Amino acid sequence: MAPQPQTQPQPQPQTGVGGGIELLESVLAQARAEDRAALVGYLPAGFPTVDGGIEACVALLESGCDVVEVGLPHSDPVLDGPVIQTADDIALRGGVRIADVVRTVREAHAATGKPVLCMTYWNPVDRYGVERFAAELAAAGGAGCILPDLPVEESEGWRKAAEQHGLATVFVVAPSSRDERLAKITAAGSGFVYAASLMGVTGTRESVGREAEELVARTRATTRLPVCVGLGVSDAVQAAEVAAFADGVIVGSAFVKRLLAHPDDLPSGLADVRTLAAELAAGVRRKATT
């Protein structure tokens, strides 16, 4: 199968068609109103187990993440680095299915009232059925989908289904994207733009690099959508660095690493991801200026 201490008032749960993208937009707008970047966490569904993965997503949202992306594990990922590949392999060997991904979205959203998206490669959605996937994700209270390998030129069918069901369609841009290409991608997307800060696969980095800031500036020149940066952030210092120029900071591999460090002790893993989420939440609020 191809396949985040909160001190602000908590949004009330919203479920069903029409609530997803509005909630996502509201949460991102609230972060901007507070003069900070949003914190977006990522974890694959089914890792370390389906129930454990749900607990981990809730832990992120209760501990500082404004939004969570639930990954649909894929047997042959093209964007994910070795850390997330390891987690995907654990989930796939555990028998995770699309129904488990939808359940993870539903329960994480219902428990916190916060936006939960699905991040997935296109093949599983295409095989499952575009309308069916969009309808089930919306019914679960999902905020939308991040589709890193779906070309804009081939996305009309998905975008129509997503719009019908009140879901955001988030596309990924990279430093290699030319300006005209950025304009085409951002015109087709909704919710926010996912800016991959470095060329290559996901994973924590020692530095997020100047390319990220340049990419955000170029992307903002084409759209009014929030621009959230991912691929590399692993600690509060880096989160503050990215928050100085981006609308959102996306963290995935660092959370997965914390869970992988406790393979037989889920409570300790959950405590570890809660600690990291709180540190990162403080980082995006610190918003480094250098």
Q: How many Å apart are CA 104 and CA 102, to the nearest integer?
A: 5
* Mean pLDDT of all residues in 253-275: 97
**Helices 253-260 & 266-286 angle (0-180, nearest 10):** 150
- Kindly indicate the confidence band of residue 79, based on its pLDDT and cuts at 50, 70 and 90: low
| Per-residue pLDDT, 145 | 98
| Per-residue pLDDT, 209 | 65
| Per-residue pLDDT, 210 | 79
| Per-residue pLDDT, 119 | 96
Contact by Cβ (8 Å): 222, 189: no
| Per-residue pLDDT, 19 | 60
| Per-residue pLDDT, 288 | 56
Q: Where do the domains of the chain lie? A: 20-285
Please choose, from the candidates 152, 155, 80, 103, the residue with its C-alpha nearest in 3D space to the C-alpha of residue 125. 155
Most confident of 36-50, 80-94, 220-234: 36-50
Please identify which residue in the block is written with the tokens 């719009």: 163
User: Is the peptide bond between 82 and the residue preceding it cis, with omega within 30 degrees of 0?
Assistant: no
Out of 12-21, 36-45, 82-91, 165-174, least confident range: 12-21
The pTM for the full model equals 0.89
Of the two residues 164 and 82, the one the predictor is more confident about is: 164
Collapsed DSSP state (helix, strand, coil) of residue 228:
strand
> Could you read off the pLDDT of 102-122 as tens digits, one per residue?
999 999 999 999 999 999 999
* Domain 20-285: top CATH class: alpha beta
Please choose, from the candidates 89, 40, 20, the residue with its C-alpha nearest in 3D space to the C-alpha of residue 255. 40
- Supply the residues annotated as catalytic: 69, 80
Out of 7-11, 68-72, 225-229, least confident range: 7-11
- Kindly indicate the confidence band of residue 232, based on its pLDDT and cuts at 50, 70 and 90: confident
